[in-house]
A = this chain, B = another copy of it.
Amino acid sequence: MANQTVDNPFAAPGHDHRSCIVAALDAAEAACARRGERLTPLRRRVLELVWRGHRPVGAYDLLALLQDERGRVAPPTVYRALDFLCTQGLVHRLESLQAFIGCGHTGNHMDDQGDGRHAAHFLICQDCGVAVEIRDGQLDGAISGLAGRAGFAIADETIELSGLCAACRNQSVSRPVCTTS
């Protein structure tokens, strides 16, 4: 159990997160190589920092982490790296939180034609802070159905459902939030 791939990190605070990080970085290296994009040391490091856990991370949190290890780092450094990672579909931005989270689906998308961008839908637990990217055929169908009926051509989807995950519903009080997992 400890080294399995974690598809649903809700209620999995004790999983072997190192394997999540390694998997994400390996997939990112492969995806960039395949596309002829450059996962530079800075970009790789930012991606690694985003993957510190399964909780969305703010740009300025990342900035502080980079500053801890590199001294003076300015906001554009972080935002440029995040732009690159988002463009490659390696990271998603959660609009309702103004924060970023690593994408665990790199490389296994059918709709990945060259670039890695894809619609990302999330469940976000307001208690433990974990965000999980979901994929649901009925949801996708409903969206394309309503867009079609309205004659609307969707270019970007922001779908973020916040509430309580199953694990957090099953405990009476809020637990302290750690920064990872």
Q: Please report A residues at the B interface, Cβ cutoff 8 Å.
A: 8, 10, 95-96, 123, 125-126, 134, 136, 138-139, 141-143, 145-147, 150-166, 169
Contacts of A169 in B (CB 8 A): 151, 153
B138 and A141 form a contact (CB under 8 A): yes
Contacts of A136 in B (CB 8 A): 142, 145-146
B146 and A96 form a contact (CB under 8 A): no
Main secondary structure of the interface of A (DSSP, over half): mixed
A67 to chain B, nearest CB (A): 26
Contacts of A154 in B (CB 8 A): 161-163
Contacts of A165 in B (CB 8 A): 150-152
**6 pairs of residues in contact across A and B, judged by CB atoms under 8 Å:** A125-B152, A126-B155, A138-B141, A151-B165, A154-B163, A156-B162
Rounded to whole angstroms, the CA-CA distance of A31 and B59 in the bound complex is: 40
A62 to chain B, nearest CB (A): 20
A8 to chain B, nearest CB (A): 8
A166 and B151 form a contact (CB under 8 A): yes
Contacts of A145 in B (CB 8 A): 136, 138
A139 and B146 form a contact (CB under 8 A): yes
A170 to chain B, nearest CB (A): 9
A119 to chain B, nearest CB (A): 10
B150 and A123 form a contact (CB under 8 A): yes
Task: Name A134's contact: one of B134, B150, B151, B164 (CB within 8 Å).
Answer: B150
A158 and B156 form a contact (CB under 8 A): no
A156 and B163 form a contact (CB under 8 A): yes
Rounded to whole angstroms, the CA-CA distance of A179 and B146 in the bound complex is: 27
